Structure 1
Amino acid sequence: MTTLLALSGSLRLGSSNSVLLEAAGLLAPAGMRIELYRGIGTLPHFNPDLDGDNPPETVLDLRRRVGAADGLLISCPEYARGIPGSFKNALDWLVGSFEFPGKPVALFNASPRASDAQAALRLVLTTMSACIVEQASITLPLLATRLDAMGMVEDPEIAASVKAALAAFARTIETSAQAEPEGSG
């Protein structure tokens, strides 16, 4: 079973990014489970002084979930031409962790207009040693559609794009796992 941790960069209820990740959970292929992490807003402001021997429990929980996941599925909006502060804060808590480097990441973008945030997100994730899986990263024009998760599942074009991206992500994760030397995981 492939397990993905889905991270939405938006705290807004009904965010098209969060709804897209919910739809991905409904469209996941057999053998894949997608867990939507809902704790971004509960993380304290990043402070290296708090990240010593006893980091906050919410941070430890995020790190455990990242470590347990086979890959990360991220959908992030653009605020003022960049990454929302709350999401950047979550990434900052992962920078010094051993769970994140080398983690496969697929980027789902709910708006073609969010290109600056996507570029910034890619820069940050690459700096953090993420393995961005291009063939599993997609951009969909969802901004003004007001579709809920079931509406996305029932839309043939959206569903096909999400399914293809998830299938590509699963293949990449499976190939990577087979390539790891025994005892390295």
Structure 2
Amino acid sequence: MIHILAISGSLSRFSKNTILLHAASKLAPEGIYIDVFGGLGELPPFNPDVESSPPQVIIDWRELLKKSDGLMIACPEYAHGVPGVLKNAFDWVVGSGEIMHKPIALINTTPSSKFAVPSLKETLTVMMGVVVPEASLVIPVAGNKFDEAGMMANQEISGMIMRSVEALAESIRKT
């Protein structure tokens, strides 16, 4: 069983990024389990003074990352950048290595966003994560009224989600 940890960079309950990841978890074929992480907002601000003995929530975060075979990250763009809450989550694992050599799909739901995904890709690459180009797609759902069921029912959108999941799974199988 392939275990993918899906992370939305948005805290909004109505985020297209989060909705897309939930759709991906339901569309995943047999043998692929996608766990959508919902605790991003619970992670405290990164503090190097407690990095070696972090709070339990950070220990749990690191363990989730460690146990996953790959990551699927849906990253919105805020003011031409990566959302602070998402960057903060990865700051907690820079020195501990949980994403080292881990295949990663970067998903963008807004075709007009140009800066956040390349910035996040750079951060993850420096951390030795492996961003999989074939799994990293722009899936244009922002601005549409798609809910989870709508994304799953739309052949174009569900097809793109499946291509991303399958490309990420293929990369995981090769590692």
Alpha-carbon offset, residue 152 of structure 1: 0.2
Provide the residue aligned with 1:64 in structure 2: 63
* Residue-by-residue CA offset, 1:28-71 (whole Å, 9 max, x unaligned): 0110000011111001110000112x211111111000000000
Alpha-carbon offset, residue 108 of structure 1: 1.1
- Alpha carbons 1:23, 1:150 under 8 Å: kept: yes
Alpha-carbon offset, residue 146 of structure 1: 2.2
Q: Distance in 2 between matches of 1:73 and 1:18?
A: 11
Which structure 2 residues correspond to residues 100-179 of structure 1 after superposition, within 5 A? 100-176=99-175
Counterpart check, 1:41 vs 2:41: yes
Q: Distance in 2 between matches of 1:84 and 1:167?
A: 26
Alpha-carbon offset, residue 83 of structure 1: 0.5
SS state at 1:139 partner? coil
Count residues with an aligned counterpart.
175
After TM superposition, where is structure 1 displaced by more than 6 Å over at least 4 residues in a row? none
Q: Distance in 1 between matches of 2:5 and 2:153?
A: 23
- TM-score, scaled to structure 1: 0.92
SS state at 1:138 partner? coil
Amino acid at match of 1:152: M
Q: Distance in 2 between matches of 1:164 and 1:18?
A: 18
- Alpha carbons 1:16, 1:146 under 8 Å: kept: no
Q: Distance in 2 between matches of 1:48 and 1:146?
A: 41
Provide the residue aligned with 1:3 in structure 2: 3
Provide the residue aligned with 1:91 in structure 2: 90
Provide the residue aligned with 2:18 in structure 1: 18
Amino acid at match of 1:99: E
Percent identity (aligned): 42
Amino acid at match of 2:17: N
Structure number with greater Rg is 1
Alpha-carbon offset, residue 153 of structure 1: 0.3
Alpha-carbon offset, residue 98 of structure 1: 2.6
Unpaired runs of 5+ residues, structure 1, are 177-185
Q: Distance in 2 between matches of 1:30 and 1:86?
A: 32
- TM-score, scaled to structure 2: 0.97
Q: Distance in 1 between matches of 2:168 and 2:99?
A: 17
Unpaired runs of 5+ residues, structure 2, are none
- Alpha carbons 1:110, 1:139 under 8 Å: kept: yes
Give the superposed CA RMSD.
Answer: 0.8
